């Protein structure tokens, strides 16, 4: 049995939905289909989810949302007309959106989650309608009816363990199930969304629940590439990855799979296959618990911008009991979570996402850290990029760090910081954002020299 998720680009228009139908119809093991909201049809297009966010924000601010309502309904109508679906499906979608917009705005986050979730929910209804029109026994499945219960965290919902027993019943369905991704229902009955691109998470949850043999994730690329293809021409495709490798790469900027999507699959040991909707015969990338290490120490290089570092120095810091607790307690008060914390005997650096720290809070935070920690020096460095070099093979190869550092030096890239995870599956380099592309290209040339074609 397979659970299959299709992303927004795979369901952007009628042509793609017909292709999805052919893919599903070609393999009777594909029994549960997770649907995203319609994505971009072309580079300058707008995703339905973004239109819905604008629609919800206008309504919250007591501004006229009707232009966005019209655009959303028009997207679905264009798809329905091209698929020659009965007009009742558009009436259903339009009425559903209007009911949501007329809801209680006293809790803006709850209201916006409800509006955003309509993208996946209504597209699942439309896709199910098309499958039915083609003579397939298909059923739209509402997450509440199925039993997908999540935590009451807006935009960051987490599945509750009790969901799995309820969702397991989906395995017994004699109909093809079309399931909307991206959201679940809280114990209070409200709608709560996962973080953006959370349909990947829904698919993984369902695969775990029904004990699927494989979780297929269809997107618009043939495979996971070893590096960002906008940085390097024709980068090497990765045939196999371990869960840990994919988690590290997703966290650091590989957008092909949501960084939280692997957690349920890891817990159940279910293989995940990344496939291309536009080229379904391509082998794709398989993500497994373990793999044969046949490609050297490094399997992939990822990068992400938008980070800053908070540096705290204090003489004899290593002798002070409770220093870390006090530091993190101050960050917690500011609602800041950290990414990495490399440290020395007299200093510690905390890397955070830059958007967590408002400009008017920065000076206040620095003063509190300096006074409450009695620090000798505190400062913030902005505009950092994190480069992650990932590979299970690094644990068994000597000199990988030296090779990476030497490659960056040759490319005239200054390393602001280095941190290697205790698992030895990844190493992190912080560099200035302006050096991100140059750093990635240098590392790629070092570890994948025979296929490296840097861009620019």
Tell whether 65 and 189 lie within a shared domain: yes
> If we measure between CA atoms, which residue out of 154, 166, 283 comes closest to residue 224?
283
How many Å apart are CA 242 and CA 303, to the nearest integer?
A: 19
User: 32 and 169: one domain?
Assistant: yes
One domain, residues 328 and 198 = no
Question: How does DSSP assign 294-342, residue by residue?
Answer: -S-S-SEEEEEEEEEEEEEE-TTGGG-TTHHHHHHHHHHHTT---SB--
For residues 52 and 156, membership in a common domain is answered with yes
Do residue 177 and residue 310 come from a single domain? no
- CB-based contact 68:153 (threshold 8 Å): no
In a domain, 382, yes or no: yes
Q: Are residues 172 and 26 in the same domain?
A: yes
CATH no. for residue 180? 3.40.1160.10
Torsion of CA 312, 317, 321, 322, to 10 degrees: 0
Sheet architecture: strand order including 285-288: 138-140, 176-180, 30-35, 2-6, 214-219, 272-276, 285-288, 240-242
Going from the C-alpha of 29 to that of each of 1, 33, 176, the distances in angstroms are 5, 11, 10
Q: Would residue 6 count as lying in a domain?
A: yes
Residues with Cβ within 8 Å of 99's Cβ and at least 6 positions away in sequence, in order, are none
DSSP category for residue 40? -
| CA–CA separation, 281 and 290 (whole Å) | 24
Q: What is the pLDDT of residue 452?
A: 43
State which of 191, 220, 249 marks the end of a domain.
220
Q: How far apart are CA 244 and CA 342, in angstroms?
A: 21
- Residue 248: inside a domain, yes or no? no
- Asked if residue 7 is part of any domain, the answer here is yes
Quote the pLDDT of residue 385.
95
Same domain, 194 and 328: no
Last residue of a domain, one of 169, 196, 220: 220
What pLDDT, on a 0 to 100 scale, did the predictor assign at position 294?
A: 63
Task: Examine the domain organization and report whether 306 and 209 are in the same domain.
Answer: no
> Does the annotation place 120 within a ligand binding site?
yes
Number of domains in the chain: 2
Residue 390 lies in a domain: yes
Distance CA 5, CA 106 (A): 34
> Do 65 and 201 fall within a single domain?
yes
Query: Does the residue 175 lie in any domain?
Result: yes
Q: Are residues 216 and 304 in the same domain?
A: no
Domain boundary among 181, 205, 220: 220
Q: Is residue 238 part of a domain?
A: no
Residues 197 and 320 in one domain: no
Name the residue range of residue 45's domain: 2-220
The answer to whether the beta carbons of residues 276 and 370 sit under 8 Å apart is: no
Asked whether 19 and 6 are in contact (CB, 8 A), the reply is no
Please indicate if the annotation marks 8 as binding a ligand.
yes
74-80, Cβ contacts within 8 angstroms, sequence gap of 24 or more: 75/38, 75/48, 75/51, 76/38, 76/122, 76/123, 76/126, 78/13, 78/14, 79/13, 79/14, 79/17, 79/38, 79/126, 80/126, 80/129
In sequence order, what are the beta bridge partners of 347?
A: 313
**Residue 228 and residue 302 in contact, taking contact as beta carbons nearer than 8 Å:** yes
pLDDT tens digits in sequence order for the chain, 456 residues long: 999 999 999 999 999 999 999 999 999 999 999 999 999 999 999 999 999 999 999 999 999 999 999 999 999 999 999 999 999 999 999 999 999 999 999 999 999 999 999 999 999 999 999 999 999 999 999 999 999 999 999 999 999 999 999 999 999 999 999 999 999 999 989 999 998 888 999 999 999 999 999 999 998 888 889 998 889 988 888 999 998 888 888 877 777 777 777 888 888 899 999 999 999 999 999 999 888 766 678 999 999 999 999 999 999 998 999 999 999 999 999 999 998 888 889 999 999 999 998 888 999 999 999 999 999 999 999 999 999 999 988 877 788 899 999 999 999 999 998 887 666 788 999 999 999 999 999 999 999 876 444 455
Q: Annotation-wise, does 220 bind a ligand?
A: yes
Q: What is the DSSP letter of 402?
A: H
CA 393/CA 76 separation, integer angstroms: 47
Contact between 217 and 203 under an 8 Å Cβ cutoff? The reply is yes
CATH code at position 320: 3.30.2130.10
- For residue 205, the surrounding DSSP H or E stretch is helix 199-209
Pair (326, 199) in one structural domain? no
The Cα–Cα gap between 287 and 272 comes to 5
pLDDT of residue 451: 45
CA angle (169, 170, 174) in 5-degree steps = 110
The phi-psi region of residue 139 (left if phi > 0; otherwise alpha if psi is between -120 and 50; otherwise beta) is beta
**Taking the CA of residue 416 as centre, how many other CA atoms within 13 Å lie in the half-sphere pointing to its CB?**
24
Q: Is residue 212 part of a domain?
A: yes
7 annotated to bind ligand = yes
């Amino acid at each position: 049995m397979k659970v299959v998720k299709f992303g927004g680009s795979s369901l952007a228009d009628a042509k793609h939905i017909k292709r999805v139908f052919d893919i599903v119809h070609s393999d009777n093991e594909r029994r549960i289909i997770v649907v995203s909201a319609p994505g971009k049809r072309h580079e300058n297009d707008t995703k339905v989810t973004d239109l819905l966010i604008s629609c919800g924000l206008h309504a919250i601010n007591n501004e006229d949302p009707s232009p966005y309502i019209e655009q959303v309904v028009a997207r679905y109508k264009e798809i329905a007309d091209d698929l020659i679906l009965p007009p009742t499906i558009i009436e259903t979608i339009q009425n559903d959106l209007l009911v949501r917009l007329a809801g209680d705005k006293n809790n803006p986050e709850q209201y916006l989650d409800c509006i955003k979730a309509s993208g996946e929910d209504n597209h699942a209804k439309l896709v199910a309608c098309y499958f039915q029109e083609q003579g397939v026994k298909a059923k739209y499945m509402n997450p509440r009816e199925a039993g997908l219960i999540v935590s009451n965290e807006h935009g960051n919902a987490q599945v509750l363990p009790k969901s799995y027993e309820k969702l397991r019943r989906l395995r017994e369905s004699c109909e093809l199930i079309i399931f909307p991704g991206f959201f679940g229902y809280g114990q209070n009955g409200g709608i709560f969304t996962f973080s953006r691109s959370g349909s990947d998470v829904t698919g993984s949850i369902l695969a775990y629940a029904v004990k699927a043999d494989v979780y297929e994730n269809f997107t618009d690329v043939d495979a996971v590439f070893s590096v960002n293809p906008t940085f390097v021409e024709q980068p090497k495709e990765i045939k196999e990855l371990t869960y840990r490798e994919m988690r590290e790469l997703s966290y650091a900027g590989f957008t092909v799979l949501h960084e939280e999507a692997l957690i349920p699959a890891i817990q159940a040991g279910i293989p995940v296959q990344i496939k291309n909707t536009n080229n379904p015969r391509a082998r794709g990338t398989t993500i497994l618990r373990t793999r044969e290490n046949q490609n050297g120490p490094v399997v992939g290089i990822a990068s992400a911008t938008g980070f800053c570092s908070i540096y705290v120095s204090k003489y004899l810091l290593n002798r002070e009991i409770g220093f870390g607790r006090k530091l993190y307690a101050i960050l917690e008060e500011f609602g800041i979570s950290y990414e990495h914390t490399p440290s020395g005997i007299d200093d510690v650096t905390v890397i955070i996402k830059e958007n967590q720290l408002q400009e008017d809070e920065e000076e206040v935070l620095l003063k509190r850290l300096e006074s409450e920690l009695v620090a000798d020096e505190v400062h913030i460095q902005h505009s950092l990029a994190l480069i992650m070099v990932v590979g299970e093979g690094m644990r068994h190869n000597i000199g990988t760090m030296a090779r990476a550092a030497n490659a960056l030096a040759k490319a005239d890239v200054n390393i602001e910081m280095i941190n290697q995870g205790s698992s030895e599956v990844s190493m992190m380099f912080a560099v200035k954002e302006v050096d991100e592309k140059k750093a990635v290209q240098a590392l790629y040339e070092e570890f994948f020299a025979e296929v490296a074609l840097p861009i620019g």
